[in-house]
Amino acid sequence: MNVEQALADTSIFIGLEAKRFDPAQIEGYELGVSVVTLGELRLGVLHATDPESAARRLSTYQLAQRFEPLAVDEKVAEQWALLVSRLRAAGRKVPINDSWIAATAMAYDIPIATQDNDYDAMPDLRIIKL
């Protein structure tokens, strides 16, 4: 069986935590994760307002840590600069963290798995919407 690679963005892990989609939808993919996603999920743990939320978010963060983090290197930096330049030239909003995650997927030439609409306006980004 041929397994397609994909980059899971932060919304995938939050969606799993909130049970917003069936995990079977991503079973056919070999998922990677951005270091930006790891940072966002860790921040969520630190900002939890009660022990129950903190425990749930920590579990989600630990799940994300099981996936291979894709390095932010010069190729990713170049993709990010090109992407942000194109978005700004088109007068579009540039969500900084999402643009780094998108640039990572583009540099590695893999689609991004997401539940987030912020990626819809990003040119040349392949999206798996869950």
| Cβ atoms within 10 Å of 23's Cβ, excluding its own | 11
Confidence of residue 21 (pLDDT cuts 50, 70, 90): confident
- The pLDDT assigned to 27 comes to 87
The pLDDT tens digits of the residues spanning 59-77 come to: 999 999 999 899 999 999 9
- Name the binding residues for Mg(2+): 9, 98
Q: All domains of the chain, ordered by start, with CATH?
A: 4-117 (3.40.50.1010)
Q: Is 14:45 a contact under the CB 8 Å cutoff?
A: no
User: Is the distance from CB of 127 to CB of 9 less than 8 angstroms?
Assistant: no
Q: Is the pLDDT score of 79 beyond 90?
A: yes
CB count in 10 Å sphere of residue 128 = 18
What are the backbone angles phi and psi of residue 37, rounded to the nearest 5°? Answer: -60, -45
